[in-house]
Amino acid sequence: MKLSLIQITVGSNPEKNFEKTKYFLNEALKNNPDFILLPECFLFISNSIKLHFSMDHEYLRYFQEFSKINKTFLLLGSLPIEENNNIFNRSILINDKGEISSFYDKIHMFDVNLKNNETYRESDTYKSGSKLKYMNIFDYKIGHSICFDLRFPKLYRDLAKKGCKAIVVPSAFTYTTGKAHWHTLLKARAIENGVFIIAPNQWGTNEDKRSTYGHSMIVNPWGEIVAEAPDEEMVLNCDINFDIVEGIQNSIPVLSYDRDFN
């Protein structure tokens, strides 16, 4: 499967971010990808402003038409979606026919107090999701997750046990936490489950002085980084072969040995 991961710097101006996203989507098409992935909060991120979209917003319709015309799967890393008077941090898959074929509401809210006085309270804006979700692309199961979910290995183990060959992690990982933990966590989730981890991340410092770590990457089931983005806005291209997953999972059968403890 040919992947294109988009790594961009995102601020609080949705229209500006939309135009940037369109540019990088067209750059991604030069690789003739099967699957394009955008990072978490790719149209809007802010520590102070609140904004939300509906599932029939004109931006979503544009992305649906893009996927249909170009016959490519597209992961909208996450958007603030309003539904039933709640706002969810929602990741959306659009298939190659332009249809919304799956979505996932982020389960674990990024509510943290870091040593350098950085404070984030995602639960002030979003309602937590409650359901594991996976998508189907070319008959392969690929698990959904978003950013802070990465620190909760049970979610990834459960998706792997459901037969997912890969798990996506669209992110806006902060520079502080990313520098310390990003590589380690992505490799751990791949190794402990024997799956591909596909992680498009935001990069850079935006106009609101919010800094994200970048280093979008793909990690194979053996824990090897097969592609990693440098420190810039760009499209990271990579081909992966899902056929290796079964062999690695059979050689170290952690999924079949897995136990629940009371």
Tens digits of residue pLDDT in 69-84: 999 999 999 999 999 9
What pLDDT sits at residue 116? 83
Beta carbons within 8 Å of 203's beta carbon, 6+ residues apart: 7, 8, 9, 212, 213, 214, 215, 216, 229, 231, 232, 233
Report domain 2-253's class.
alpha beta
**Helices within the chain (DSSP H only):** 14-28, 58-70, 153-161, 175-193, 243-251, 254-257
Residue 42: how many CB atoms within 10 A of its CB? 25
The predicted-structure confidence for 86-142, as pLDDT tens digits, reads as follows: 999 999 999 999 999 999 999 999 999 998 888 999 999 999 999 999 999 999 999
Backbone angles phi, psi at 115, to 5 degrees: -65, -25
Told to judge if 238 belongs to the known catalytic residues of this protein, a careful annotator would answer: no
Residue that has been written with the tokens 């792997």 in this structure: 160
Which helix (DSSP H) or strand (DSSP E) does residue 123 occupy? Answer: none
Catalytic residue among 20, 41, 106, 165: 106
The predicted-structure confidence for 148-177, as pLDDT tens digits, reads as follows: 999 999 999 999 999 999 999 999 999 999
Burial class (CB in 10 A: 0-12, 13-18, 19+), 8: buried
Beta carbons within 8 Å of 26's beta carbon, 6+ residues apart: none
Told to judge if 106 belongs to the known catalytic residues of this protein, a careful annotator would answer: yes
Catalytic residue among 41, 147, 164, 238: 147
CA dist., res. 55 & res. 81, Å (int) = 7
Residue 189: how many CB atoms within 10 A of its CB? 27
Give the residue extent of every domain in the chain.
2-253
Say whether pTM exceeds 0.85: yes
Catalytic residue among 20, 40, 41, 165: 40
The predicted-structure confidence for 203-239, as pLDDT tens digits, reads as follows: 999 999 999 999 999 999 999 999 999 999 999 999 9
